[in-house]
């Protein structure tokens, strides 16, 4: 027997299960309770090492981040920009309230670096999948601090059912140069979001150069595939087989490039 | 009984299985045969609707895209750029041979828009996970036409075992603004790469605006998570539960933004 322990192989099987029949979420709802109830309904038992991926929309709804545009008074800056990009000035006011820098704009679209550091269209503000009427239009803003939202749910799960699970909050985002949205992590707790494998050896014993893998974004993308975008109504997915990424985390900010290493922040 | 048929719900469960114990791949190898053998070894039966995700590296190896730097004669342009970015001029020559435009450069890094339309570091050329020696350094280029590579394997699978599977070739790529690599599709066959859901209804019966989902990139990311980067040696993953994206495809190019809709191509 060797005295050197062989490291356990990483799991080769990943399973993503979208919870069905979730109820509508309203401001102030107990999201952890709703998720635990949905797990029971879906005959699923959460186990240590699972990752619970939650769509940003239901986090935002539960946290009361839905605003009626009729209650928004646009600033002169918002009115001017709204005209330029052909959007509702009240919506533009909400976008600007979330924005650190405007990265790009064109009719129908404002891409911003938001105050959280995310670079995304319309500061992630959405008008789909929330109750709407022509006279009372609504807009849903991102959570104020999605890492904290994730942490709260992770700790409640731990307290209520004594399971160590990671929590990721994901949102569909467009990308530079590539078409279509992909799920990205906008908040997380209890997961290693970026694996820093610098120093690991490749198959030929050569040191891997600069390989950092955005594990949490790969999981967010996989979960997004199962959640769907339109009328599927599956805003929570359980990811099984990724327990090696459970651990302390700096939150989603570890997924953001620092400004001095970013070659594409030209604003 | 209603005369209107309820559409079948999209699968809520996605499974990604990384094949273990794959052999090293060499130029000219029969990759389809290798994959089918590995499936048997892993006690897995491929079924209609499965998607076979294959790491770019073994496609490139099988297609003889490995070059010895000693055989490369750098051009004056490559020598000048190599000095600027502190890279081997022979490697820079290979990068330039794949490049349409240089997007960004800094010491250690050249980000290009390659002739295939991909925007990525070093034109996707890699020196890890291939046999190396200090006196005989090697570099692995991307497949010449990864859509065709995917199609060939898809048709061979169909012919040999009569299974209708999709094929995606993925590669780890960095992103603007976000840290860490994520698996992206660089070639595909028999899959709908981008779902155009424009016109679909959201949960509240509101028409979803402009929601195109990069399904193939979400699958490529999920598969990449299972494949790993370093010494895991799992370059093939079977994705089960995504049969709704099996279908005709324009290949990976449907994942690229057209130049006139791209706000971040400033080169």
What is the rounded distance in angstroms from the CA atom of residue B98 to the CA atom of residue B101? Answer: 9
Q: Is A198 on the interface with B (CB under 8 A)?
A: no
Share of chain A above pLDDT 70, in %: 88
pLDDT at B242 over 90: yes
- On whether ipTM exceeds 0.85, the answer is yes
Mean pLDDT lowest for which of A134-143, B172-181, B217-226? A134-143
All residues of chain B having their beta carbon less than 8 Å from the beta carbon of residue A119 are: 176-177
* Residue of A179, A211, A224 for testing the chain B interface, max B β-carbons within 10 Å: A179
Any B CB within 8 A of A26 CB: no
Buried residues in B83-121 as b, exposed as e (16+ CB within 10 A): eebebbbbbbbbbbbbbeebbbeeeebbbbbbebbbbbb
| pLDDT given at position B232 | 64
Chain A, 216 to 255: residues with Cβ < 8 Å from chain B are: 217-219, 221-222, 224-226, 228-234, 241-242, 254-255
CATH class in words for B15-65+142-256: alpha beta
Which of A99-113, A228-242, B190-204 has maximum average pLDDT?
Answer: A99-113
Q: What is the pLDDT of residue B2?
A: 40
Superfamily of domain covering A16-63+144-257 = CofE-like (3.30.1330.100)
**Residues in chain B within 8 Å Cβ distance of A213:** 172, 180-182, 224, 229
The full 3-state SS of chain B, as one line of letters, equals: CCCCCCCCCCCCEEEEEECCCCCCCCCCCCHHHHHHHHHHHCCCCCCCCCEEEEEHHHHHHHCCCEEEHHHCCCCHHHHHHHHHHCCCHHHHHHHHHCEEEEEEEECCEEEEEECCCCEEEHHHCECCCCCCCCCCCEEECCCCCHHHHHHHHHHHHHHHHCCCCEEEEEEEECCCCECCEEEEEEEEECECCCEECCCCECCCCCECCCCEECHHHHHHHHHHHHHCCCCCCCCEEEEECCHHHECCCCHHHHHECCHHHCCCCCC
Neighbours of A205 (CB within 10 A): 8
**Residue located via tokens 């130029």:** B27
The domain A66-140 belongs to what CATH superfamily? CofE-like domain (3.90.1660.10)
What residues of A are in contact with residue B240 (Cβ under 8 Å)? none
Return all residues near A168 (Cβ < 8 A) that are at least 6 apart.
A51, A52, A53, A54, A150, A185, A187, A188, A191, A216, A219, A220, A223, A239
pLDDT tens for each residue of B76-119: 999 999 999 999 999 999 999 999 999 999 999 999 999 999 99
CA distance B223 to B241: 13
Please check the confidence at residue B11 and state whether its pLDDT lies above 50: no
Domain positions in chain A are 16-63+144-257, 66-140
Per-window interface: B 69-108 vs A, CB < 8 A? 104, 106
**Per-residue model confidence as pLDDT tens digits over B26-52:** 999 999 999 999 999 999 999 999 999
Q: Touching check for A158 and chain B: CB below 8 Å?
A: no
């Amino acid at each position: 027997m060797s005295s050197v322990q062989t490291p356990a192989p990483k799991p080769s099987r990943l399973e993503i299960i979208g919870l069905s029949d979730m109820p509508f979420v309203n401001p102030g709802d107990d999201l952890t309770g709703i998720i635990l109830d949905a797990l029971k309904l879906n005959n699923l038992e959460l186990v240590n090492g699972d990752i619970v991926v939650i769509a940003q929309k239901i986090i935002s709804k539960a946290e009361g981040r839905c605003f009626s545009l009729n209650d928004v008074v646009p600033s002169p800056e918002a009115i001017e920009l709204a005209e330029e990009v052909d959007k509702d000035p009240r919506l533009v006011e909400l976008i600007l309230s979330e924005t650190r820098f405007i990265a790009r704009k064109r009719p129908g679209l404002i891409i911003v670096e938001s105050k959280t550091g995310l670079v995304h269209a319309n500061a992630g503000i959405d008008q789909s999948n929330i109750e709407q009427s022509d006279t009372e239009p609504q807009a849903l803003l991102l959570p104020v601090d999605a890492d904290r939202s994730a942490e709260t749910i992770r700790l409640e799960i731990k307290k209520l059912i004594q399971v160590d699970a990671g929590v990721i909050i994901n949102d569909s985002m467009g990308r530079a140069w590539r078409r279509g949205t992909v799920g990205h992590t906008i908040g997380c707790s209890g997961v290693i979001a970026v694996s820093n494998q610098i120093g690991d050896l490749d198959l030929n014993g050569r040191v891997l150069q600069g390989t950092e893998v955005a594990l949490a974004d790969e999981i967010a993308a996989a979960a997004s595939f199962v959640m769907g975008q339109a009328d599927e109504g599956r805003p929570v997915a359980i990811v099984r087989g990724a327990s090696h990424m459970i651990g302390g985390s700096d939150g989603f900010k570890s997924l953001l490039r620092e400004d001095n290493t970013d070659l594409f922040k030209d604003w």
